[in-house]
Amino acid sequence: MTDYVLAIDQGTTSTKTSLIDPSLNVVASAGYELPQIFPRPGWVEHDPDTILRTTFDSIKAVLQKANIDPHRIAVIGITNQRETAIVWDRKTGRPVYNAIVWQCKRTNHIVEKLRDRGYEKAFKNATGLVLDPYFSATKIMWLINTIPGLRTKAQKGEIAFGTVDSWLLWHLTGGASHATDVSNASRTLLFNIKRLKWDDDLLKITGIPRYIMPEVRPTADIFGYTRELGFLPDNIPIGALAGDQQSALFGQACFEAGTVKATYGTGSFVLFNTSDRPIMSGHGLLTTIAWQIKNRVTYALEGSAMISGAAVQWARDGLGIISRSEDIEALASSVPDSGGVVFVPSLSGLGAPFWRPDAKGIITGITRGTVKAHIARAILEGIALQEHTLLEAMKEDTGQRISALKVDGGASKDNLLMQFQADILGIPVVRPQNIETTSLGAAMLAGLYAGIWRDVKELRKIWKEDRRFNPTMPVAQRRGFLSRWNAAVKKLLVE
């Protein structure tokens, strides 16, 4: 009997694999930290071989924990950090360079050149994205223009490009499949989200040969079969690939237009389901493909904050005010408020709706009476206030009222943060029982392909809520928080 889904979640700071049963229960899970590489200030890389090793090790660990016959795995779903770019040799399967991570700023100068040449509108119209080093295109340009001989190999079709999902797929299938899905493709700055294909004009502008690009398929589809892995049987289908934030939207059962989720991971990402209508933002948001199931494409508006949970890590590793990330809630709760301190967590630039990759973090309102607990509380409040900015932009773009925000990711376990999030938004915040919804979404999508679940109606019935945080903050107090936040952001933007 094949009745389990294996969900691989390859993220920015860790790789995790989960075994999911037909009731959406996590039977077993295992994860490994992914080391970060910082060759120069503003540069961020990963070792592709380490990505692969942690993926394989997490699969092995899950199978050992679950103690099941791996032949009972019906299908595999993969979700991944998105815009990160990997290029490898087609013959050997070896990477030609480290993975250039989505956070990396090394291509700022390439973005400026493209902007100066007047191409910004062409990229926005075709892809729904802004011209920014965040996305894959300029990372590929840097690789083929910097590494000796790589452009020649690219023109001959001897190398392959992929986001992390494609890299994993290639190796899970023994090099038989070079593909991606529409959700990941829509994050490269090279994919036409209306025509659902690589955009020839943008490939020409960037000088990226079409030969190196993966085949693009629907999100829930057959991408290939396991081959010669040793720890998994051959011929298990890979039935879904999905970018992590789109996967989380699906894992939160946000299937209808107007439903919204926020994931609190390394960064924070808010997605608003716009159904089959791609809405081009007038407020600095991104238009992206959420998923494609058969011939139906679902779009979303996305707001990205580059730093969220990473701000808590900074409080731990940089400031040393906590010894463990989970300690921040207790420290922040030891004071009734932040004492007027405001923290804008732009430690890796400002994302939507400002798009200032050069922005630095800022703390205002410090006095002689400020203690580390005030800083801790301001860090949590800053994470939530970023979400308010993003949701306000979404309301402006769509003209729709947001009735509730579904939340997930590691920081959503913080009750103080979630209550403040509800208070500052003035709407309920809903946390699911399984906050690892990136993995869950990949499992749900793959399981739909494999027939474990009939349709999204069945999935909605078995999706489980954990807790609902209702707003309690008086309106005047909320306005005070927002006024101080807006003043701090304005100060940051004019510097």
Q: What are the tokens at 361?
A: 């973090």
pLDDT above 90 covers a percentage of the chain that reads: 77
Provide the pLDDT confidence category of residue 204 given band limits of 50, 70 and 90.
Answer: very high
pLDDT category at 306 given cuts 50, 70, 90 is confident
Within 10 A of 72 (CB to CB), how many other CB atoms are there? 13
Tokens of 378: 């301001």
pLDDT tens for 405-446 read: 999 988 899 999 999 999 999 999 999 998 889 999 999 999
> For the chain, how many helices (H) and strands (E)?
16, 23
Work out whether strand 405-408 and strand 260-264 pair parallel, antiparallel, or are unpaired: parallel
Per-residue pLDDT of 70-100, as tens digits, reads: 999 999 999 999 999 999 999 999 999 999 9
Task: Give whichever of 188-192, 277-281, 302-306, 463-467 has the largest mean pLDDT.
Answer: 188-192
pLDDT at 210: 92
Question: Residue 457: which H helix or E strand, with range?
Answer: helix 456-462
- Listed residue (492, 485, 437, 486) closest to 465, CA to CA: 437
Question: Domain for residue 150, yes or no?
Answer: yes
pLDDT digits (tens, 9 = 90+) for 130-180: 898 989 999 999 999 999 999 999 988 899 999 999 999 999 999 999 999
DSSP string covering 29-98: EEEEE---B-SSTT--EE-HHHHHHHHHHHHHHHHHHHT--GGGEEEEEEEE-SS-BEEEETTT--BSS-
- Give yes or no for residue 495 having a pLDDT over 70: no
Q: Is 357 within a domain?
A: no
Q: Is 352 helix (H, G, I), strand (E, B) or coil?
A: coil
Q: Which two tokens stand for residue 172?
A: 């899970």
The residue among 45 and 409 whose pLDDT is bigger is: 45
Which residues of 231-305 form beta strands (DSSP E)? Answer: 237-243, 260-264, 268-275, 286-293, 296-305
Res. 488 pLDDT band, cuts 50 70 90: confident
C-alpha span between 457 and 351 (Å, rounded): 34
3-state secondary structure of 217: strand
Which is higher by pLDDT, 2 or 112?
Answer: 112
Residue 473 has pLDDT above 90, yes or no: yes
**Contact (CB, 8 A) for 210 and 200:** yes
Residue 184 lies in a domain: yes
For residue 274, tell me if it sits in a domain.
no
411 in any annotated domain: no
Measured CA to CA, the distance from residue 20 to residue 7 in angstroms comes to 7
Of all residues in the chain, the percent with pLDDT exceeding 70 is 99
Report the pLDDT value the prediction gives residue 165, as an integer from 0 to 100: 97
**What's the pLDDT at 251?**
95
* pLDDT on residue 174: 95
> What are the backbone angles phi and psi of residue 28, rounded to the nearest 5°?
-160, 150
Please name every residue paired with 16 in a beta bridge, in sequence order, or none if there are none. 9, 31
**Is there a domain that residue 86 lies in?**
yes
Cα 65–Cα 412–Cα 4 angle in degrees, nearest 5 = 30
Per-residue pLDDT band at 307 (split at 50, 70, 90): confident
Residue 221 sits in a domain whose CATH number is 3.30.420.40
Decide if 95 is inside a domain: yes
pLDDT attached to residue 426: 94
295-316 mean pLDDT? 88
What tens digit of pLDDT does each residue of 282-291 get?
888 999 999 9
pLDDT of 268 over the 90 cut: no
Express each pLDDT in 329-384 by its tens digit: 999 999 999 989 999 888 777 777 887 777 888 898 899 999 999 999 999 999 99
User: What average pLDDT is seen over the chain?
Assistant: 92
CA distance 27 to 223: 25
Q: Domain count for the chain, please give it.
A: 1
Q: How far apart are CA 278 and CA 193, in angstroms?
A: 8
Q: Does 447 have pLDDT greater than 60?
A: yes
Q: Is residue 441 part of a domain?
A: no
Torsion of CA 252, 3, 289, 404, to 10 degrees: -10
Q: Does pLDDT of 1 surpass 60? A: no
Nearest to 31 by CA among 415, 438, 332, 316: 438
Measured torsion, CA atoms of residues 102, 105, 109, 114, in degrees rounded to the nearest 10: 20
**Residue 200: other Cβ atoms inside 10 A:** 11
DSSP codes, 400-419: -----EEEESGGGG-HHHHH
Range of the domain at 42: 4-245
pTM of the model: 0.90
Whether the predicted pLDDT of 2 surpasses 70? no
